[in-house]
Amino acid sequence: MSDTTIFDKIISREIPADIVYEDDQILAFKDIAPKAPVHYLIIPKQRIATLNDASQKDQALLGHMMLTASNLAAEAGIAESGYRVQMNVNKGGGQVVFHIHLHMFGGRQLAE
């Protein structure tokens, strides 16, 4: 498996993305193929391939990603109506980009 993904190129600005949040640890940007009116991806700047590769040392980072998802939902005006936060893990879980990312999407009624 490659050590880098398209998300490293977004972090380094080699390819453009519509960035909605950034700090020293994480980046959030609009998904290129949105599933809902609001669909952001929240990623760590340091690559972790899958959630299976995360460990105790990543606990605060993972929490920071979750709280950023919630903050961005509030900023996008969908916190009260509702949204979904999802992380796909490995091929069977639907993961295509092997650099962990939280999907945060909403702005329409989501099916179960």
Nearest approach, Cβ of 97 to ligand 5GP (angstroms)? 4
Q: Which two tokens stand for residue 43?
A: 């990623």
Site for ligand 5GP in 39-68 (CB under 6 A): 41
Between residues 32 and 67, which has the closer beta carbon with respect to ligand 5GP?
A: 32
**Separation between Cα atoms, residue 66 and residue 44, nearest integer Å:** 11
Comparison of 56 and 72: residue with beta carbon closer to ligand 5GP: 72
CA dihedral 105, 106, 107, 110 (to 10 degrees): 140
Q: Which of residues 67-106 bind ligand 5GP (CB under 6 A)?
A: 88, 94-97
Our answer to whether residue 101 is catalytic in this structure is: yes
Residues 41, 21: Cα–Cα separation, whole Å? 10
Catalytic positions, written as ranges: 101
